Amino acid sequence: MVSETVLAISTTSLIVELSAFALVLYGYSQKRVKKFRTHGSAMTVAVALHLTVILSWMVFSLYAFVSEAGLDLRSLLIDAALTHVTLGAVAASLGVWLVGRWHLQADIQGCFGRKRLMLPTIILWSAAIALGVFLYAIVVTS
């Protein structure tokens, strides 16, 4: 059984992550109607929320999980966790880079050249979120 503290932190992290992802979807919708500043602002807040959860909970959680479970690469759970971490790290890195580049420019025209990375970033983030929900369900039911 998972402790109440771990359950509360995991649930809070999941809610924040889903909220951040909702902001990504909102930002994407704003881009489609050519509200590029609103798009960029929503993505910035989403990336900031995502980084907050990664640094405040997920790094610790990964360390505790690997310490307790070991690194048995034949385990579906370990494979799912490592895939989640990898996809999430790549998505977060791309998100930070995209948002950072946007904030370092006075003119948003430079963003259009990075457009080819934006959809893959959302796809990676979606996959990481889906695996995170899967891992959360396992933690809650264990």
Torsion of CA 32, 34, 99, 117, to 10 degrees: 50
Range in 52-61, 107-116, 122-131 with the lowest mean pLDDT: 107-116
Mean pLDDT on 71-87 = 80
Which pLDDT value is given to residue 114? 64
Name the 3-class secondary structure at 70.
coil
Tell me the domain boundaries of the chain: 4-141
**19-56 per-position pLDDT tens digit:** 999 999 999 899 899 898 898 889 999 999 999 999 98
Which pLDDT value is given to residue 1? 58
